[in-house]
Amino acid sequence: MLRAEGLSFRARRLAPSRGISQARPLQSLRSVGVTILFVLVVLCGLSFGSPADLFGRGNAAYEAGDYQQAVTIYDSAASATTSAELLYNRGNAHFKLGEIGRAVADYDRAYVIKPHDNDIQHNLAFARQFRPDKSLTIDNPLMRMLTDFLRVPDAASARVLAGLFFFLALSSLALLLIRGQRLFGWIAVGLGVIFVYCFISAASWAEVTSPAHAVVVQPELTLRSGPGPDYKEIAVVHDGLEVMLREQRPGYVLIQIPGGDGGWVESATVEPIFAR
């Protein structure tokens, strides 16, 4: 692990790809066009490489100091797969390029996948310190403890576990009604408590991963009272500020900044953190 200027970097490896099911035999290719298309697909696959190969090439570019090339390669890998390691390393490359907003976005995405990864947490907090617009909100220790407790499972696991324990609780309740044994009642209560926890955890993650969450990706951005350059200027914000998307118009979006104020900006100046 390398740590330079407070930023943690690990040349992490992607998990090995799962085996591909055996392909079914092709029928006779009577069409020359189909044959050409097949060859082109194979050549494209060889030229672009697997996500793991692209990930390794991106790491090599990063360690060589070619951060723009690293981002380009990571983008190619991200088009085929998504992992906390890939997002984390791409966030590091964005940070080295001075793109604080895009770095914060990638760290946020990686955090949702691996919320207990110390390096991801460190780099997310570190990148946020470089934002010109500082948050004036004081972190409540009790709320932080509650949030950490609710986010023991990651976002995907919380949703799956909530559904699983809901089904098990209903099954135990059905057995109680059919057999009349108290044991099934106590089991239903226990499973119901776990279901409630998982459900609240999933709801907590749903708020974090809302498609309305976005980040400013322009060094300086002027908020206006309407969707256009002729409207009155309201405020100026900067790269890395996390905002909420409230309304969209052609080429423009209404954002809400921390504290409740908001204004219209060009759509390209903010990047949604989580896709719809």
Query: CA–CA separation, 126 vs 100, rounded Å?
Result: 10
For residue 49, what are the contacts with CB-CB under 8 A and spacing of at least 6?
57
Strand partners, 233: 224
SS3 266: strand
Examine the pLDDT at 14 and tell me if it is beyond 80. Answer: no
Tens-place pLDDT, residues 211-234: 999 999 999 999 999 999 999 999
Measured CA to CA in angstroms, residue 235 lies from 223, 239, 244, 247, 264 at distances of 5, 14, 15, 18, 10
Q: What is the pTM of this model?
A: 0.78
Confidence of residue 34 (pLDDT cuts 50, 70, 90): very low
